[in-house]
Structures are given as structure tokens and as C-alpha cells.
């Protein structure tokens, strides 16, 4: 060591691999025995570069962050962002940063990553030329794209296709130029490339393979106007993104005399220690491993990070190579390769399934002895986790069973339970099936989140999460733990299964469902606070299709409702109610504004503009509700369903009608959608928004379903959430016509209602449902289950049977009878409901009083009135 003081570890570079190294240090207790200093060139801590393109789907840089400030603080890690290392003095063992900071080290770890390769073509530095590597690169591309119409990507590999998808999402006509004869030449073979090409061209992108870029053409102002290709042709384009591969970033190492490979990369041994200096290590894309490779994937970098941490801790560890398997979704297309995907070992056989019409291509490489050597999957990578885990062994079923789709004559599918314990399930963190089983049996983990926390499996790229869930359930069942998936103590079925029973058997009452399909112990009983509102919601959702009453207060239905639905208004903390009329799209005529003002004045109500572009009136006593509704209905208003687990609002910007940036009529679309889906009962409340351009003033990507206008139509986003656990929505489909948009929203909402759990937001449902967004897209866009006609018919029935609940209530004496504070004294107001003045309005006089609600979820969700 260089001193008797606390030894110092200096990490140069804070990307994904650098952050994993810090975590590995912490896991071994090394942050308690060492000073740890990190010099980071970028202006932000480590973020998920694998998911970089999700920025264009609404993720923020903060969403992509991999660095918890609390982690750095807890472990005393000194992070210097925007202050890269400039020089290394190996003799003095010091690193000097750009700011002039000098840090002495006992151990130096270089995690400087790689830099984009830009072909040496004329004018490559012209205005309008970009690379695709960092968040700042994306900011620059996004800004320049606003004044561009056409974009071209040089490179048809992983990042190239992601960049092309980003440009298309920004509204540009997009070209891909790839020198190799096929897209993704490293990962897929000729057949896979052909399937990928058909799919990509079907999305409206222009692909040019087998040609190189000869020159960037510029105009008089020096900005890009086109590209000249090696075949003599020329592309007109305003913007060029170079994504032609990366090179190890080893300049710092070269400058301080460390050995590098002939083609770049800091030369290291099996402990990732540089061959030149025992005090210096290199990990990630800047390192040339002992096997002569520079690994460009995150999983090998993670392994290298763990190896160095173990070596510092004086543990036995070595990096001798890594699995190069990859599973990605590029432009919405599943693409995966694993093992010896191209059969380079020789003397092997191929098992191929191809369906060019559906864009599917699957190839397995099989050794003469039956060993699975590798494979390529394009269009459907569902079996990736199982196939990769079997690589290097003889699967217990015939190879065709692993690639043929269901119903195509394949024998029984092979599940992850058949994998050996040594099979690697999570390649990012090298977690085996045996380790996952141990988390369940030895560490008593009973859920996937618990297993993730225990083993780190599923916390990297996420491609193994589905297999992880299947293994956890299988291990629990094998351990004798009954995995009860029933809705509650009354029903052994899930909510989804109860939905199917109600639909198939036309069950119109809770009592019938409980007595015929409930658990034996629950039949004849009264049910519980979990299943009664859940079943009430199912029956309400399906009412037109099954012949049940369509009003939530009809007959038995009234007794099943939550407190808010029971009175068609939101119960507030002092026992009063709020009233929210529907204002589709936030558009309201002056006459209606005057009516709301007069009602609020006459009944002494507190008024507030909500976040969903409506007006909320607070402070109504229960007996006043029908009187207020009557005046609202006379003025042309209807219930805004602020009280229900149903559609609340479809928020809107002003769109192209008024805004100079708008490209579509967002107000009209918002009104059409809100009027179509009003009153739709669902597992959880639904919110939507329509933005007239990419500037996103309506915040559509925080909604359950959000719509953003493009020059070619509408982009549909789903699964967003503005609640307690915010989640950006995911892009489901692009450039839709009005009719296509409505059809997909119909399908999405009815599929969600059909398969979601009780009180499950679309955001949680999308993360939980097997296959996630990919599966939902397959079902609602591609009709993979053949149920889209049924979903559309169910929605059509809802639309045609819609009736305003307020209007029907005020015209029904039987329903009106419930709207009293005291049944035995109907003319007596509740004395508890009292107010005091505040800011020229009123507020409850009992701020600490809470009212008993049924069930508990009302306390959390029922008072939200947006």
C-alpha cells in the first residue's frame, strides 16, 4: 500500500459496470475498510444505458438512473460527476481530474467504457451529425429533429435499430444504412436478418444493406442535406446518426503506459488486473480480457466488476469468458441470440421454423450428439430463457418442441422446472436455478420481489423475470406451500377467472355466483369486503352483455358498491360529499360555467379546478346531492364518475386548433374518447389524455392510456400511472388513424378489465401479467388469442347501453330514498357536517375526524376526484 492511512480505491468511470463494481465492494464490506472515490465524466451518475431509447417513450433521465444517493451516502462513496480523470501518474499512484483534483490510490479501477466509432467520411462533423451513446446525445438529437423531416442512421446493429426507432418516433422519415448484407449481422444469421428486414420495412422504415457511406453532403450553410452511398446513390436527409459500432476507450491507459491490444482495449489477466501494473484493473468495454475479447455487453462487465471486487477482498475469483447471449426488443420486434448462434463449431445441424408472413424466424443449432449449441429467435423470443439455460446440454425433449408454436404439431412444451440446478437463469448477475431455489427453500423468500432482493436475479435487463416467477411458484409448490391464487376467503378463483365465469354463464347476481362457485365455507354467507365490490365491478362491466341491470344502484348491485359508488359521489373527511360533473376534454361553454358557479353559490360549496381539467364542488350534504344533480342535468351535464372505479377524464391540450405546434385535433379526440368510455367500470379508476404534439402538454404518458399526435396520426401509450408509484406509459402502437386508435383502445381496456386483479392499476397489471407489454401488444394489436372480436363486441355493448347514473337516479323515487342522513328523520341534516370560512370559501370544521368507510381502499383512492 502507498500509505499507512485508510487504503483508497479510485474508480474512473461511472457507467453501469462502474456502479456494479461499487455494489460489489459494498457487498464484501470493502467500503467500510477503504476510501472509495469515483471520477465520472458525464454530468449525471450511472444510468441504464441498455434502456437509453426508452427516453423517447417518455422515460426521464431520472427514471433511467441506477444510482441511489442513499447508497452512496451509506457507504461513504465520494462521487464527482462531470469531472473526468485527465492523467494517471503510476509512479506516484495519483489520478488528476479535470477540475485539478488529485487523488492518491492504492487500487485504480478503469471503467472508462467505449466511444462511438464514426467512419472517416468527409463532413462527418457537419451540423446535423450525431452519435447515439449518452443522454446528452439524445437531448441533442431530439432538439435537432424538431426542425428536420428526414433522418438516416449509419449502422444496422443493435444501437442502430434503436436509433432508427427513436427517429421514427420523433416523426422523421427514417433510413437505415448497413454495410453488411443484413441487419444485425453479429447477432442473427441470414434467415433471421431477412425476417427482421421484412418486419422493419413493414413499419415504414427504409433499409439499405450492403452499401457504405461515402460522404455526408452539406448545403451552403454547412448543415447536412444528404448522404452519398458506395453504390453511387444519394439519400436526401436533414439529420444523420452514426451508430456503426464502438471502440474501447483506452486513451487514458495508453497515456500512462499501460499495455493495450492491437485493436484497442486495456490488456488484463483473469483477475482483470492490467498486465502492466498490479495496482491497476480494467473492467467493461475498455478491457481486453485474457481470452482476447473486448466484451460489449453489460453482463460480462458485471462479472468483471465482481471479479475485481473479489480480488481486492483477497477471494479466489477469475473472469475466463462470458455468455454473449442477448435478448432485445428493437422497433417492437423481439430479437434474441444465444450460444453458438451461427454454428461456428462445425459438424452441427439446424432446426429451423420460419413464417415470413408473421415475421417469425427461429433456428436452433444442435450438435451431432443432440447438444443444444445455440440459436436465433426473431419475432418471438418467449422461449429464450429456457433455451439459453439448456445451451451446452441435451434437452429432455426433441428440438422441434422448443421452436414450434403452439398448435403447430409440437410435442408438450418444456418448462423452466425441467432445467438443471446449474443452469444460469439470470445472465446479468450469473444467478443459477439452484440459487433461486435456495432463496425459496433456505432464505424463505415467497415472492419474486423477495427473490430479486436476495439473489439480484431479474434486476439487470429483466429478460429472465418470467422464468423467475415460474421457478418461484414451482419451488413453493414443491416445498408443500400451497400457492393460493384465489380472490379472497370466499372464492378460490382469481378475479380473471370470476370474470370468465360471469361472462360465460351469464351470472347476474353476486348471491348466485357465491352460492354456485364460492368456497364451500363461504356458500350461504354474506361474502366479504374484498369480493363484494370486486364482483359488483365485474357484473357492472359486463352488464349489457349478460343482461344485468346497467345502473350500479339496481337491486342487489347497490349493496355491493363501495361507499362512493353507493351515493354516486365522493365522501370527504367531514361526512360531506363532492360533486364532479363530466367536462369532456376540459372544454366547457360559458353558459355551463355560469351554471356551475350558480350551483356552488346557492349550495355554499367549495370549488376547485382539478388536475383532470374539471371543476369539483365540495361540501354537499347527502340529501342535497339529488338537488344539485337535477340542476346540473337540466344544464346538460352528466356524472363525471369521480366516485367510481371507472373512466375519470380524458385530459387534453388545445391541439392544432389553437396551438402553433399542434399537428392533430387533440380536443376533438379527447372528447370522442371520453364520451365513448364514460361509465366503463373497471378494476381500478382510469385516466387518459390526448396531446396534440410531441411537446406533451396533456401529460399523456402518465395516464392509463395516453394518446400523442404525430404527423402520421396518433401514438398510443398504455400503463402509465400518476399515483403513489409513478410509472411512464409504454408505447403500444404508432401512427394510428382515428379508427385504428379507437379500435386498439377498445381492445386494450376490455382486455385489462378481463384479466386484471381487483384494485389493480393498468401500470401494475402491465408489469405483472406474464409477457408484459409484449403479450398485451400481441393480444390487442395482433389478435394472438383470437379474442379481439369479442373484446370489441363487449365495448360496443357498453357504449350502446350507457345511461347517465345521475339522471336515472333523480327520476327514480326508489333510488332517491337512500339520499338522507337519517332514515328515521329524513328531513334532518347531519349536525356533524360543519364548515368554517377559508380564503373566501369553506373548509371542513372537523379536520381530524375520519368517517368509517367500506372497504379500506376508499380511504386511499375514494377521495381523489380528478
**Binding residue ranges for [4Fe-4S] cluster:** 653, 659, 693, 697
Region of 781 (left: φ > 0; alpha: ψ -120 to 50; beta: rest) is: alpha
Give dist(CA 105, CA 90) in Å, integer.
Answer: 9
Please name the residues in contact with 160: beta carbons below 8 A apart, sequence gap of 6 or more: 153, 154, 176, 178, 243, 244
Residues of the binding site for siroheme: 697
Strand order in the sheet with 94-97: 85-89, 94-97, 102-104
Cα angle value 494/500/505 (rounded, 5°): 125
Residue 273 carries which DSSP code? B
Give dist(CA 112, CA 124) in Å, integer.
Answer: 24
Q: What 3-state DSSP class applies to 76?
A: coil
Q: What 3-state DSSP class applies to 715?
A: strand
Strand order in the sheet with 239-242: 129-131, 239-242, 150-154, 173-178, 206-209
Closest Cα partner for 299 from 311, 285, 316? 285
Residues of the binding site: 653, 659, 693, 697
Please name the residue that has the C-alpha cell 376526484: 865
CA 97 to chain centroid? 37
Closest Cα partner for 712 from 737, 745, 733, 740? 737
Q: What does the block give as the cell for 558?
A: 347497490
Q: Is 740 exposed, middle or buried (0-12, 13-18, 19+ CB in 10 A)?
A: middle
Q: Which long-range contacts (CB under 8 A, 24 or more apart) does 278-281 make?
A: 279/90, 279/93, 279/105, 279/106, 279/107, 279/108, 280/88, 280/90, 280/107, 280/108, 280/109, 280/110, 281/107, 281/108, 281/109, 281/110, 281/308, 281/311
Q: Which uninterrupted H or E stretch holds 207?
A: strand 206-209
DSSP result, 757-789: PTT--HHHHHHHSTTHHHHHHHHHTT-TTS-HH
DSSP result, 18-61: HHHHHHHHHHTTHHHHSEEEEE-SSSS--B-GGGGGGGGGT--H
Judge if the upstream peptide bond of residue 432 is cis by omega within 30 degrees of 0. Answer: no
| CA count, 13 A, side-chain hemisphere, 105 | 29
Q: Are strands 35-39 and 78-80 parallel, antiparallel or unpaired?
A: parallel
Please name the residues in contact with 193: beta carbons below 8 A apart, sequence gap of 6 or more: 181, 182, 183, 184, 185
Task: List phi, psi (to 5°) of 800.
Answer: -70, -20
Residue 863 carries which DSSP code? T
Q: Is 844 exposed, middle or buried (0-12, 13-18, 19+ CB in 10 A)?
A: buried
Three-state secondary structure string covering 592-650: HHHHHHHHHHHHCCEEEECCCCCEEEEEECHHHHHHHHHHHHHCCCCECCCCCCEEEEE
DSSP result, 648-669: EEEEE--HHHH-TT--S-HHHH
Dmax (CA) of the chain:
93
Please name the residue that has the C-alpha cell 387533440: 666
Amino acid at each position: 500500500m502507498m500509505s499507512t492511512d485508510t487504503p483508497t480505491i479510485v474508480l474512473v468511470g461511472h457507467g453501469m459496470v462502474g456502479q456494479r463494481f461499487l455494489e460489489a465492494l459494498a457487498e464484501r464490506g470493502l467500503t467500510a475498510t477503504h476510501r472509495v472515490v469515483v471520477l465520472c465524466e458525464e454530468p449525471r451518475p450511472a444510468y441504464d444505458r441498455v434502456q437509453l431509447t426508452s427516453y423517447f417513450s417518455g422515460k426521464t433521465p431520472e427514471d433511467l438512473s441506477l444510482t441511489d444517493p442513499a447508497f452512496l451516502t451509506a457507504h461513504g462513496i465520494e462521487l464527482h460527476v462531470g469531472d473526468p480523470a485527465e492523467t494517471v501518474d503510476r509512479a506516484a499512484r495519483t489520478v488528476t481530474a479535470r477540475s485539478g483534483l488529485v487523488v492518491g490510490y492504492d487500487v485504480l479501477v478503469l471503467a472508462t467504457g467505449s466511444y462511438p466509432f464514426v467512419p472517416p467520411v468527409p463532413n462527418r462533423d457537419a451540423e446535423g451529425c450525431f452519435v447515439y451513446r449518452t443522454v446528452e446525445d439524445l437531448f441533442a438529437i431530439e432538439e435537432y429533429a424538431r426542425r428536420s423531416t428526414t433522418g438516416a442512421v449509419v449502422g444496422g446493429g443493435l444501437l442502430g435499430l434503436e436509433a432508427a426507432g427513436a427517429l421514427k418516433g420523433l416523426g422523421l422519415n427514417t433510413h437505415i444504412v448497413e454495410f453488411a448484407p443484413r441487419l444485425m449481422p453479429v447477432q442473427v444469421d441470414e434467415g433471421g436478418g431477412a425476417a427482421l428486414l421484412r418486419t422493419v420495412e413493414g413499419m415504414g422504415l427504409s433499409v439499405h444493406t450492403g452499401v457504405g457511406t461515402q460522404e455526408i453532403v452539406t448545403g451552403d450553410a454547412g448543415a447536412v442535406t444528404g448522404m452519398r452511398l458506395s453504390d453511387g446513390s444519394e439519400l436526401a436527409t436533414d439529420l444523420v446518426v452514426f451508430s456503426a459500432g464502438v471502440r474501447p476507450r483506452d486513451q487514458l491507459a495508453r497515456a500512462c503506459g499501460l499495455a493495450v491490444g492491437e485493436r484497442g482495449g486495456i490488456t488484463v489477466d483473469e483477475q482483470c488486473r492490467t498486465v502492466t501494473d498490479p495496482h491497476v484493473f480494467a473492467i467493461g468495454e475498455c478491457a481486453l480480457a485474457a481470452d482476447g475479447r473486448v466484451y460489449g455487453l453489460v453482463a460480462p462487465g458485471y462479472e468483471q466488476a465482481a471479479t475485481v471486487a473479489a480480488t481486492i477482498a483477497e477471494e479466489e475469483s477469475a473472469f475466463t469468458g462470458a455468455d454473449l447471449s442477448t435478448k432485445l426488443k428493437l422497433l417492437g420486434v423481439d430479437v434474441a441470440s444465444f450460444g453458438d448462434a451461427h454454428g461456428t463449431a462445425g459438424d452441427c445441424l439446424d432446426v429451423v421454423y420460419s413464417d415470413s408472413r408473421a415475421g417469425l424466424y427461429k433456428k436452433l443449432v444442435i450438435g451431432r450428439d443432440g447438444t443444444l449449441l445455440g440459436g436465433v429467435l426473431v419475432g418471438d423470443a418467449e422461449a429464450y430463457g429456457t433455451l439459453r439455460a439448456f445451451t451446452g446440454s441435451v434437452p429432455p425433449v426433441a428440438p422441434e418442441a422448443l421452436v414450434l408454436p403452439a398448435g403447430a404439431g409440437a410435442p408438450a412444451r418444456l418448462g423452466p422446472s425441467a432445467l438443471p440446478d446449474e443452469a444460469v437463469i439470470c445472465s446479468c448477475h450469473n444467478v443459477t436455478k439452484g440459487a433461486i431455489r435456495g432463496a425459496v427453500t433456505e432464505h424463505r423468500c415467497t415472492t419474486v420481489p423477495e427473490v430479486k432482493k436476495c439473489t439480484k436475479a431479474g434486476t439487470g435487463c429483466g429478460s429472465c423475470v418470467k422464468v423467475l416467477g415460474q421457478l418461484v411458484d414451482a419451488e413453493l409448490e414443491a416445498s408443500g406451500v400451497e400457492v393460493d391464487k384465489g380472490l379472497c376467503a370466499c372464492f378460490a378463483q382469481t378475479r380473471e377467472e370470476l370474470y370468465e365465469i360471469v361472462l360465460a354463464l351469464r351470472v347476474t347476481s353476486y348471491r348466485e355466483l357465491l352460492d354456485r362457485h364460492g368456497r364451500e365455507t363461504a356458500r350461504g354467507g354474506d361474502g366479504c369486503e374484498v369480493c363484494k365490490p370486486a364482483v359488483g365491478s365485474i357484473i357492472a362491466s359486463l352488464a349489457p352483455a349478460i343482461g344485468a341491470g346497467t345502473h350500479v344502484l339496481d337491486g342487489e348491485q347497490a349493496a355491493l358498491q363501495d361507499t362512493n359508488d353507493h351515493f354516486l359521489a365522493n365522501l370527504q373527511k367531514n361526512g360531506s360529499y363532492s360533486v364532479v360533473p363530466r367536462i369532456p376534454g376540459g372544454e366547457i361553454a360559458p353558459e355551463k360555467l355560469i351554471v356551475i358557479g350558480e350551483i356552488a353559490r346557492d349550495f355554499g360549496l367549495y370549488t376547485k379546478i382539478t388536475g383532470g381539467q374539471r371543476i369539483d364542488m365540495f361540501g354537499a350534504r347527502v340529501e342535497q346531492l339529488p338537488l344539485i344533480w337535477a340542476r346540473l342535468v337540466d344544464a346538460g351535464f352528466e356524472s363525471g364518475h369521480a366516485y367510481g372505479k371507472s373512466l375519470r377524464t380524458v385530459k387534453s391540450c388545445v391541439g392544432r386548433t389553437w396551438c402553433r405546434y399542434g399537428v392533430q385535433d387533440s380536443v376533438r379526440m379527447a372528447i370522442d374518447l371520453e364520451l365513448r368510455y364514460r361509465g366503463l367500470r373497471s378494476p381500478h379508476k382510469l385516466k387518459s389524455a390526448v396531446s396534440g404534439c410531441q411537446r406533451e402538454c396533456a401529460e399523456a404518458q402518465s395516464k392509463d392510456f395516453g394518446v400523442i399526435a404525430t404527423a402520421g396520426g396518433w401514438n398510443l401509450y398504455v400503463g402509465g400511472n400518476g399515483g403513489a408509484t409513478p410509472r411512464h406509459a409504454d408505447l403500444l402502437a404508432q401512427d394510428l388513424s382515428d379508427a385504428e386508435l379507437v379500435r386498439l383502445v377498445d381492445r386494450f381496456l376490455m382486455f385489462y378489465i378481463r384479466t386484471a386483479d381487483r384494485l389493480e392499476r393498468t401500470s401494475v397489471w402491465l408489469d405483472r401479467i406474464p409477457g408484459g407489454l409484449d403479450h398485451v401488444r400481441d393480444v390487442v394489436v395482433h389478435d394472438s388469442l383470437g379474442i379481439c372480436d369479442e373484446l370489441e363486441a363487449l365495448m360496443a355493448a357498453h357504449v350502446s347501453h350507457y345511461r347517465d347514473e345521475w339522471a336515472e337516479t333523480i327520476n327514480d323515487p326508489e333510488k332517491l330514498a337512500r339520499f338522507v342522513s337519517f332514515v328515521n328523520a329524513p328531513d334532518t341534516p347531519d349536525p356533524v357536517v360543519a364548515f368554517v370560512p377559508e380564503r373566501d370559501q369553506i373548509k371542513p370544521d372537523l379536520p381530524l375526524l375520519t368517517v368509517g368507510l367500506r372497504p379500506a381502499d376508499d380511504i386511499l383512492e375514494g377521495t381523489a376526484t380528478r
